[in-house]
Amino acid sequence: MMPSMAAKPADVPAAWAAAPPRAVIFDLDGTLTRPLLDFDAIRAEIGLRPRLPILEQLAAGDDALRARAEPILRRHENDAIDRATLSDGCAELLRRLDERRVPTAILTRNTRDAVAAFVHKFALSFRAIYTREDGPPKPSPAGVLALCDRMGAIVAHTVAVGDYKFDVQAGRAAGCRTVLLAETAPDDLDEWGSPDLVVPSLRALLSLWG
């Protein structure tokens, strides 16, 4: 059954509250931070087709396209980190997880340099990081599996949290629980499958580790 799109702490499934996830994998932009990347602008500047995923279009292109696109993509990504602010409930949730000794990781289609800049900017710490430079990007489950291995976490006891379908697809394909951050249900939710839980912000997850 599709979970409530306005999930509050009390709406967290009883089974989750009884046995909260023992490790958490977070997306970066739009999850740990407020969304800043303008993917339409990036595609337009590179000269890619609208609405289609950027990394997949670059992978299907030639070396000249990738060489032209890389500095543009990195400029947008680095600028987003420079302007980044933490999402609602992010600081509180990360602090709670640290207090409960729940390991955390970042799984992103961004670069390792951008993640390092983010971690430094907000003085945060994560057990492991997986970027597009480390292997197949989301929606491949490769990153989830690699991060669970690095954290020493059991996949079935781990939750993947993100704001886009690739986050849910990667987590589900790996075999872990999934949480989608969304104020309203995406129009294409039925096409790519429902997450285990939908919440409007990270703050709604605090009660899991209360």
Helical residues (DSSP H) of 83-130, grouped into ranges: 90-99, 112-122
- The answer as to whether 159 is a domain residue is yes
Query: What is the average pLDDT across 32-37?
Result: 92
The answer to whether residue 205 is domain-embedded is: yes
Same-domain check for residues 77 and 95:
no
Residue 4 domain-assigned (yes or no): no
Q: Could you tell me if 52 and 139 lie in one domain?
A: no
Res. 180: pLDDT tops 80 = yes
Confidence bin at 8 (pLDDT 50/70/90) = very low
CATH number at residue 95: 3.40.50.1000
Q: Do 147 and 203 belong to one domain?
A: yes
Residue 198 is assigned to a structural domain of this protein? yes
pLDDT band at 7 (very low <50, low <70, confident <90, very high): very low
- Cβ atoms within 10 A of the Cβ of 97, count? 21
**Is residue 28 located within the same domain as residue 52?**
no
Q: What confidence tens digit (pLDDT) does each residue in 64-96 have?
A: 999 999 999 999 999 999 999 999 999 999 999
Domain identity same for 134 and 196: yes
Q: What is the pLDDT of residue 153?
A: 98
> Is 3 a member of any domain?
no
Q: How far is CA 88 from CA 48, 75, 149, in A?
A: 32, 25, 29
Residues 121 and 169 in one domain: yes
With a threshold of 0.95, does the pTM exceed it?
no
Q: Does 143 lie in the same domain as 50?
A: no
User: Do 30 and 51 belong to one domain?
Assistant: no
How many residues belong to the chain? 210
Closest by CA to 170, choosing from 198, 201, 203, 193, is: 193
Could you give the CA distance from residue 108 to residue 26 in angstroms, rounded to a whole number? 8
Instruction: Reply yes or no on whether the pLDDT at 5 is more than 50.
Output: no
Full domain range(s) for residue 46: 39-82
- 99 and 30 in a single domain? The answer is yes
pLDDT digits (tens, 9 = 90+) for 88-145: 999 999 999 999 999 999 999 999 999 999 999 999 999 999 999 999 999 999 999 9
pLDDT at 39 over 70: yes
Look at residues 165, 127, 161 and name the one whose alpha carbon lies nearest to residue 146: 127
- Given 54, 82, 110, the domain boundary residue is 82
pLDDT for the residue 103: 98
In a domain, 62, yes or no: yes
Residue 25 belongs to a domain? yes
Does 167 lie in the same domain as 152? Answer: yes
Do 15 and 97 belong to one domain? yes
Q: Is residue 93 domain-resident?
A: yes
Tally of structural domains, the chain: 2
Q: Residues 200, 123: one domain? A: yes
